Amino acid sequence: MRSTESEEMKGTERKESKGFILITSVLFLVIFSIFVVAHYTYHRATMNAAERNQSKIVSFQAAEAGLDQAIAQLMTPDATQSDDLSRYPCPAGTTYATSSAPGHAAGCTTGYISFDTGTGTLQGGYDVWVDDPSSTPPSAFRQIEAAGHSPSNGSSTVSGRCPASSPAGVRSYECRATVAYIEIDKTLFNNAVFVNDEFEINNSTVDAYDADDPLATGLEVRLQTNSTAEGAVELNGRTTVTGDVFVGPGGDPATVIDLGPNARITGEQGVAASQITYGPAATTSQSLGPLRSNSPVNPVILTEGTYHYDSINISGQGALILQGKVEIFVSGDVSIGGNGVATSGNKPYNFILYQTGTSDVTISGHTNFYGGIYAPNSNVTYNGSAEFFGAVIADEFKSSGDVHYDQNMKDVELGGNIKPLLNFLSWRETNTTAGS
C-alpha cells in the first residue's frame, strides 16, 4: 500500500517537474523573444535615426549649396541687364528663368537641380528662388530661399518650399530650407579713401564737400583699411581727418592707427564689421596704346565716353582735357603731372580712372585733381602741390596733399565688370519638414 502511494507521489513530482521546466522554457522563450524584438526595434530605430540624421545633413547642405549658387549669381555682372534690378539676377544664358514660385512674387528660379553621391542609395537636390521682397520693386534688396531635399530625387507633386506635410509623390521626406536677405550694393566710392593694406597721409586736411552744393555743411568722411597690422594707418604732421577712420575686422584702432602728436581724427576710430573685397576692373574695348602729353600745344582732349590705354604719362606742360563724363581703363603705369587733368565742370564724378592691373598710379603736378581712382591692386601716390577732389580705392595709398571727398561719389555705380558687394542683412533656417 505504502509502495503504491510512494510511486504515485513520485509520478506527481515528475509531472510537476516537467511542468515547471515547460513553464520555465516558455517563459524564457517569451523573455528572449521580447529581448530580440526590443533589440531589433532599437536597432531599427537607431538605423532610422541615423538615416534621418544623414538626410537632414544632406538636405541642409544641399540648401546651403543652392544659397551659394544664388549668391554667386548675384555677384556676376551681366552685360545686358547689369542695370536692370527688376530682373537681376536673371541674366540671359543662365539656368535662371523668370517665374513665380509658391509663396513668392515673380522672381527667378533654378528649377530642381539634383545630385547623386554615387552610392546608389543617397540622392538629393535643391531648388532656389530669388525675388525682390520690397513693396515697391525694383529695389536693391533680395530674398534668397533655397530648399534642399534628401534622400531621393523622385518626381514631385509639390513645387516650392518645403511642404508642411509629405503627401505621396514628394521628392523626399527630409527637406531643409534656408532664407537670406541681402542688399546689393552697386555703389563704388562709399569711402574717401579705402585700401586693402595701408595708407599714409602727411600734413594734410581730409574732409568732405558737395560738388553740386558748395554751401553744404556738416559733411564728414570715412577712411577704411582691411588691415589689422600695427601702424597700417599713418597720420603725420598736422593732418586732420574730419570724420571717421576704420580698421579691419578684429583689429585694434589704438595700434593699427599711428596718430602723430599733432594729427587728429574728429570722428570715430572704429573696427569694420567685415572685410571689403573689390575685384579687378576689366574692359573688352581695344587699347588705344599709350596716352602721352608733355606740351601745352598738344593736350589730349577726350569727349564723353569710355577709353582704354596701355599707360598714361602727362608731364611738363602737358594736359588731359575731358569733355563730359569720361571713364579711362589703364593696364600699365599711370603718371599724371604737368597741368594734370581738366575734369568737366570740376565734378569728380565726371572722371573715373580704372587701373585694371597692379601697376602704380602717381599723381603730382600743380593743378587740382578731380576724379575717382579705382585701383584695388595697385599703389596710389598723390604728392602734388595742389589738392585732390574725389575718392580713392587702392591696395596702398600715400598722400602729401589735401584730400576732399565729394559726397556725390557715393552715387557712382559699378563699372568695368566689377562684382557688386553683398550686404547680408539676415540668414535663418526655416520651413524644416520631416516626414515618415
Q: What is the pLDDT of residue 200?
A: 97
pLDDT above 90 coverage of the chain, percent: 44
363-391: average pLDDT:
93
Q: What is the pLDDT of residue 47?
A: 72
Q: Decide if pLDDT at 96 tops 90.
A: no
Q: What confidence category does residue 8 fall into, taking pLDDT thresholds of 50, 70 and 90?
A: low
Q: Is 253 or 281 the better-scoring residue by pLDDT?
A: 253
Q: Which residue has 563699372 as its cell numbers?
A: 415
Take residue 427 and report the three cell numbers written for it.
540668414
* Cβ neighbour number for residue 387 with a 10 Å cutoff: 16
- CA dist 162 → 61, 102, 126, 204, 434 (Å): 15, 10, 10, 59, 9
**What average pLDDT does the chain have?**
80
Contact (CB, 8 A) for 176 and 58: no
Q: Which of 231, 276, 270, 263 is nearest to 247 (CA)?
A: 270
Chain centroid offset of residue 287 CA:
31
Q: Which of 248, 298, 242 is nearest to 276 (CA)?
A: 248
Question: Alpha-carbon distance 243 to 232, whole Å?
Answer: 18
Neighbouring residues of 350: CB distance < 8 A, sequence distance ≥ 6? 322, 324, 325, 326, 343, 344, 370, 371
Q: Decide if pLDDT at 246 tops 90.
A: yes
Q: Decide if pLDDT at 278 tops 60.
A: yes
Q: What confidence category does residue 16 fall into, taking pLDDT thresholds of 50, 70 and 90?
A: low
Take residue 50 and report the three cell numbers written for it.
541615423
43-54: average pLDDT:
72
Q: Is 277 or 131 the better-scoring residue by pLDDT?
A: 277
Collapsing DSSP to helix, strand or coil, 113 comes out as: strand
Q: Is 361 or 52 the better-scoring residue by pLDDT?
A: 361
Q: Is 4 or 191 the better-scoring residue by pLDDT?
A: 191
Contact (CB, 8 A) for 314 and 333: no
Q: Which of 159, 177, 161 is nearest to 169 (CA)?
A: 159
- Residue 64: its H or E element: helix 2-74
- CA dist 408 → 100, 391, 404 (Å): 37, 10, 12
Question: Alpha-carbon distance 265 to 341, whole Å?
Answer: 30
On the question of a cis peptide bond just before residue 138, with omega within 30 degrees of 0, the verdict is yes
User: Per mean pLDDT, which range of 32-36, 226-230, 360-364 is the poorest?
Assistant: 32-36
Q: What is the pLDDT of residue 98?
A: 47
User: Per mean pLDDT, which range of 58-62, 167-171, 217-221 is the poorest?
Assistant: 167-171
- Which residues in 87-198 belong to E strands, given as ranges? 97-100, 106-109, 113-116, 123-131, 141-150, 174-185, 193-195
246-273: average pLDDT:
96
Question: Alpha-carbon distance 234 to 199, whole Å?
Answer: 6
Question: Alpha-carbon distance 399 to 206, whole Å?
Answer: 10
Residue 200 φ/ψ, nearest 5 degrees: -135, 130
Contact (CB, 8 A) for 89 and 146: no
Q: What is the pLDDT of residue 324?
A: 95
